[in-house]
Amino acid sequence: MLELVQAGGWLMFPIILCSIIAAAICVERSWTLRTSQIVPKHLLAQVWNWIKNNDMDARRLRELRQGSPLGEILAAGIANNRRGREQMKEAIEEAAGHVVHDLERYLNTLGTIAAVTPLLGLLGTVIGMIKVFSAISLEGTGNAQVLAGGISQALITTAAGLTIAIPALFFYRFFQRRVDELVISMEQEAIKLVEVLNNDRPDRADNTRSPKPEIAQVASR
């Protein structure tokens, strides 16, 4: 491995650095973008039980906001419930914007690595071929060692750049898709909360009237 790095020239070092950064981002995003952590199962049902039983106080609202990204969105809606449906939706959208920004953290860097590493490999190819043609112009075609060294550098950097770029691009697309799916799930849960708290669903209309004063008290704190 060390011989390949040395044969590839100095451009191998930024390519290796890109590979380390890409690997770290993939591991971190794989751990962070877990569905159980972003959209906890039955969280909306638990929130509704708190509201229905008048247990939604400032402490629970703070715990909900800090517990998960979905909880942060739901907490924003609950805290602004007394202001009306439109204000509640605006608060949810604002909180969702912050959540999505956090979910997409480091993905631009990963996409940049996927785009840059092939160019670094191509640059190594160009430099290697320049060395080859320079050697030919100075010594002719008789010095096979010099020619082989230039061609080797060209091929190694290109292969290294593509080796990093292909999986980086794959994981970039994969995580983008994962974020989209999580956003859709959170959006669906937030819509259910808005409908329930604003009596849009007939089967919940009678149940949503009693908790509202308590929610208003929480929102005003």
pLDDT digits (tens, 9 = 90+) for 126-146: 887 887 777 677 766 666 666
Exposure pattern of 5-36 as b/e (b: 16+ CB <10 Å)?
Answer: eebbbebbeebeebbebbeebbeebeeebeee
Rounded mean pLDDT, 198-207: 47
Whole-angstrom CA distances from 67 to 28, 40, 130, 181 are 19, 9, 57, 20
pTM: 0.78
Question: How far apart, in whole angstroms, are the C-alpha atoms of residue 11 and residue 204?
Answer: 64
pLDDT at 203 over 60: no
Which among 106, 38, 30, 34 has a CA at the least distance from the CA of 73?
Answer: 38
- Model pLDDT, residue 219: 39
pLDDT at 198 over 90: no
Q: Are 15 and 117 in contact (CB under 8 A)?
A: yes
**Per-residue tokens: 143:** 């010095």
Neighbours of 158 (CB within 10 A): 20
Please tell me what DSSP assigns to residue 183.
Answer: H
**Per-residue tokens: 116:** 């840059």
Per residue in 64-102, pLDDT (tens digit) is 888 889 999 988 888 887 777 888 888 888 998 999 999
Q: Are 67 and 98 in contact (CB under 8 A)?
A: no
Position with higher pLDDT, 13 vs 83: 13
